[in-house]
Amino acid sequence: METTEKRRHKREDIVKAMDYTSYQQSNQLIEFDSFVTNISQSGICLLTTEALKHGQEIKIKNHMVQPPQIANVRWSKEYYHGLYYS
């Protein structure tokens, strides 16, 4: 069964550490560690230890993404016991 790709730009598979910051319920800005699993000009997939919410705004910081970029979470799902893809 063939699936149709809906992304604007082709994703490249990589594994790189990346930091992101996000406001939590306490309105406190907190920095988290994550891994990038794939990336394109218009999107990125992160493996995180925190469940991100659809529509949540995060700031991505890494030498691959300069200057740091604001991103909106489009989806998030649990991958394995406390690890999440977003």
Q: What is the pLDDT of residues 43-82, one digit of tens each?
A: 888 999 988 999 999 888 877 667 888 889 999 999 999 9
In the block, residue with structure tokens 């909106």: 72
Q: What is the DSSP code (8-state) at residue 41?
A: S
Tell me the domain boundaries of the chain. Answer: 12-36+53-81
Strand-pairing partners, residue 77, are 85
- How many other CB atoms are found less than 10 A from the CB of residue 12? 10
**Cα of 20 vs its chain's centroid, Å:** 8
Average pLDDT across the chain, whole number: 83
Report the C-alpha gap between 75 and 3 in whole angstroms: 18
Predicted confidence band of residue 4 (pLDDT cuts 50, 70, 90): low
Sign of CA dihedral 63, 75, 12, 16: positive
